[in-house]
Amino acid sequence: LIPRQFLIAVILLAGLVIGMSVYVWRLRERQVREEQPAVQTSANKPVAPPAAGPTEQATVYVAYDDPGELRAQSINIPLSADRQQHAAQLLRALLDLYTAKGSPHPLGPGSDIRDVFLVDPGIAVIDLNSALADTQVSGVLTEELTVCSLAQTLATNLPGLVRVKFLVDGKERDTLAGHVDLSNFFDVSQVAEMAKSLGPH
Amino acid sequence: MIDPAHGGIESGAVLNPTILEKDVTLAVAEHLRQDLTSRGIVTALVREGDANLSTDDRAAAANLERPSLYLSLHASSEVGALRIFSASLPDTVNGGGPFAQWESAQTQSLAGSRAAEQQIAAALQTSGFAVRQLTAPLRPLNNVMVPAIAIEFGPPSANVVQLDSPEFQRSLSIALANSIAAWLSHPQTAAPNPSVGGAATTGAPH
């Protein structure tokens, strides 16, 4: 005969084991549910555009130190469908012109765009690196050409853009190289007026 | 009011290892003060020596004095450069009540600034200078409440040292003084300016 107390203890232990199993099974199910959206998000992430591939035509505004002008030029480059990457690619194409040998508007080696952020409604934040700002030739016109070239190129290629703001290394900066004011936002209409006055004369 | 740009720890452009923009602008400003004074025009400098002034300090000095013209001088190493700039103001900066906003204080005088820019440029051109008229986002022009322009000049040839020569500085100063005196001697109608919605009349010079 099995003693009654022993039987009760076995039944209680069996109940506890079954309860713990159900609890662990539910915990595991919840964890799987929480992990699923993360997997989906990473699967939906935009794929970086190929460095080479089908190209698109875009208009960029190129600064010419001699004779101090901004000229609209057509270029063909691979462009991403993602607006933010599209913007960064356009500006990097411009900087490639400026850092190349025989540049019409030389910028120092290592000059780059750290990032371009597009913020609703219609704001573009262009984050320049310090190599660009620190090697920019100091002067009213030459600094204006750099700023206007970048801002007008974005304004022309990104419909709906209203204002542009410049940062350097992710931070606010008073001027680009001692002259042109970077502390405020630039209205697209203001940039267009500047580009017009800097146009071929 | 003449403002030799930069000064103190802020040297401006390093035109060559020994010539700094802040020194050239001060030297030309001193010549210009003398040339304007000799034409009977009361003239003040925003800085007399190698003072360290912020752009806000400079705008505050101009707004306190209320001169007929605020003229900021800049020097560049670009050969033959002579450019006159008026402020480039964002359209989205709106006026707020009875007080002018600091960022757009120039709005009320922009038509007058552009008229001065146009007339001084025309006078300089008749003296044989090739002048460009531009707008620029350049402090403290947008913080000044009176007609305000900036002039950027370069050496007449590839030799940057010319910027430091008293002969060059004097000839530039005389041309500028003649042009400013011609503008001040005639009350002018402001140039049409699409960004401020039409023409206005500049006040009589004092």
Q: How far is CA A106 from the centre of its chain?
A: 24
Mean pLDDT of A112-128: 94
Out of A144, A174, A189, the one facing B91 most closely (by C-beta) is A189
Residue B188 has pLDDT above 80, yes or no: no
B contacts of A189 (beta carbons < 8 Å): 91, 195
Mean pLDDT of B164-183: 95
Give residue B128's pLDDT: 86
Residue B116 has pLDDT above 90, yes or no: yes
Residue B91 has pLDDT above 80, yes or no: no
Mean pLDDT of A144-165: 96
Cβ A185 vs Cβ A164: under 8 Å = yes
> Do A65 and B85 make contact, defined as CB atoms within 8 angstroms?
no
pTM: 0.81
What are the tokens at B158?
Answer: 């590839």
Rounded distance between C-alpha atoms, residue B135 and residue B50, angstroms = 28
State how beta strands B19-20 and A56-64 pair. Answer: unpaired
Interface A:B, Cβ pairs < 8 A = 88
> Do B138 and A180 make contact, defined as CB atoms within 8 angstroms?
yes
Give residue B105's pLDDT: 92
Mean pLDDT of B11-36: 96
Give residue B92's pLDDT: 55
> Do B83 and A141 make contact, defined as CB atoms within 8 angstroms?
yes
Helix extents (H) in chain B: 21-38, 55-65, 110-126, 166-185
Query: What percent of chain B shows pLDDT beyond 70?
Result: 87
| Order of strands, sheet of B148-153, starting from the edge strand that comes earlier in the sequence | B2-4, B70-75, B148-153, B82-87, B132-136
* ipTM (interface pTM): 0.86
Question: Model confidence over A11-62: pLDDT tens digits?
Answer: 999 999 999 999 999 988 888 777 654 444 444 444 445 556 678 899 999 9
Residue B199 has pLDDT above 80, yes or no: no
Give residue A42's pLDDT: 41
Mean pLDDT of B16-23: 94
Residue B201 has pLDDT above 50, yes or no: no
Q: Establish if B193 touches chain A: CB-CB under 8 angstroms.
A: no
Confidence of residue B93 (pLDDT cuts 50, 70, 90): low
Q: What is the mean pLDDT of chain A?
A: 89
Give residue A165's pLDDT: 97
Interface test with B, best of A70, A162, A181, A187 (most B CBs within 10 A): A181
Out of B14, B81, B134, the one facing A197 most closely (by C-beta) is B134
Give residue B90's pLDDT: 75
Rounded distance between C-alpha atoms, residue B44 and residue A100, angstroms = 46
A contacts of B195 (beta carbons < 8 Å): 189-190, 193
B contacts of A141 (beta carbons < 8 Å): 76, 78, 81, 83, 134, 136, 152
Residue B95 has pLDDT above 70, yes or no: no
Q: What are phi and psi of A62, to 5 degrees?
A: -100, 130
Q: Establish if A194 touches chain B: CB-CB under 8 angstroms.
A: yes
Q: Establish if A193 touches chain B: CB-CB under 8 angstroms.
A: yes
Q: How far is CA B62 from the centre of its chain?
A: 12
Question: Is A171 or B200 the better-scoring residue by pLDDT?
Answer: A171
Mean pLDDT of B75-104: 82
Three-class SS string for B101-141?
CHHHHHHHHHHHHHHHHHHHHHHHHHCCCCCEEEEECECCH
Confidence of residue A129 (pLDDT cuts 50, 70, 90): very high
Question: Model confidence over B118-137: pLDDT tens digits?
Answer: 999 999 999 888 899 999 99
> Do B76 and A140 make contact, defined as CB atoms within 8 angstroms?
yes
B contacts of A183 (beta carbons < 8 Å): 139
B contacts of A194 (beta carbons < 8 Å): 88, 134-137
Mean pLDDT of B35-61: 95
> Do A185 and B92 make contact, defined as CB atoms within 8 angstroms?
yes
Give residue A46's pLDDT: 42
> Do B91 and A190 make contact, defined as CB atoms within 8 angstroms?
yes
> Do B92 and A163 make contact, defined as CB atoms within 8 angstroms?
yes
Mean pLDDT of A120-136: 94
